[in-house]
Amino acid sequence: MDSVTRYHRLQQHIIRCRKCPRLVAWRERVAAEKVRRHQAEEYWGRPVPAFGEPAASLFVVGLAPAAHGANRTGRLFTGDRSGQWLFEALHRFGFANQPTSVGRDDGLRLHGCVISAALRCAPPANKPLREELDRCRLHLRRELALLQRKRVIVALGRIAFLEVLKAWRENGGKIPGGRTPAFRHAGEWNLPGGVVLIASYHPSQQNTQTGRLTRPMFHAVFRRASQLLSLRSEAAGSQSPRADCF
Ligand code: SF4
């Protein structure tokens, strides 16, 4: 079985996952109770799969679905304010065909990019427990292994950054210097195998409304990702093939 087929199967497997009792109860309760502004909608209420192209060269990793965002729409960063920032940035640098994302049938396509998360189920108060992250990291590890054309990983927030590094290490990858680096916005680390990890503050309202993360700061991260990928594709003399998923 090729890696693209395995990737699609993995996403179907993730959607059925019920390993975390607290999160299963929460995601289903939120989906049943809803909020007033979304009362007429049917919530997804399940683990949210990765979104994008399995032949992606850019891998973006966030924290977790928002209770009334991706837990409602079934697509990561779709239907919440963090997504407004993310898709605007992805569109600006050619990784998405449109700057907005409101629902799974909104016509959004990613180009050379996959969006995933450290945790696939919405956690109460956006705060996952350590054991939930540990369980869900297996999904991330499998994605890292199956996304064989990734060249840049953008980790959104400190938790995603640390989970990516743990998953990398658990997959047998080395971390330069042997020690986990400290998170810093726009920090850049070369991982073995020609992969660059870039850290960014998460575009949550907690960061965007306080000015901790501004649009120029956020765009600079994706500008850099785009530069790195252009340099590599010039060096390779070709572009990655594309295949759609979700
Ligand atoms: S958080 Fe991850 S491991 Fe836990 S139930 Fe959801 S998909 Fe499964």
Token pair belonging to 148: 């064989």
Q: How much is the pLDDT for 245?
A: 33
Nearest CA to ligand 1 atom 2: 136
Reported in sequence order, the residue ranges of the chain that DSSP labels E, i.e. its strands, are 51-52, 58-62, 113-117, 152-156, 188-191, 195-200
Q: What is the pLDDT of residues 69-81, one digit of tens each?
A: 999 999 999 999 9
Mean pLDDT of 168-197: 96
pLDDT, tens only, 187-209: 999 999 999 999 999 999 999 99
Mutate which of 18, 116, 121, 139 for ligand 1? The one with the most ligand atoms within 8 Å of its CB, which is: 121
Nearest to 7 by CA among 197, 148, 191, 109: 148
Distance 206 CA to ligand 1 centre (A): 24
Render pLDDT for 85-100 as a digit per residue (tens, 0 to 9).
999 999 999 999 999 9
171, HSE (Cβ side, Cα atoms, 13 Å): 22
This prediction has a pTM of 0.94
Q: Is the CB of 22 under 6 A from ligand 1?
A: no
Distances (CA, A) of 195 to 153, 168, 211: 7, 11, 30
Give yes or no for a contact between 118 and 63, defined as CB atoms under 8 angstroms apart: yes
Q: What pLDDT score does 42 carry?
A: 98
Residue from 10, 16, 17 whose mutation best tests the ligand 1 pocket (most atoms within 8 A of CB): 17
Question: Residue 123, SS3?
Answer: coil
**Confidence tier at 235 by pLDDT (50, 70, 90):** confident
Instruction: Look at residue 237 in the predicted model and tell me its pLDDT.
Output: 63
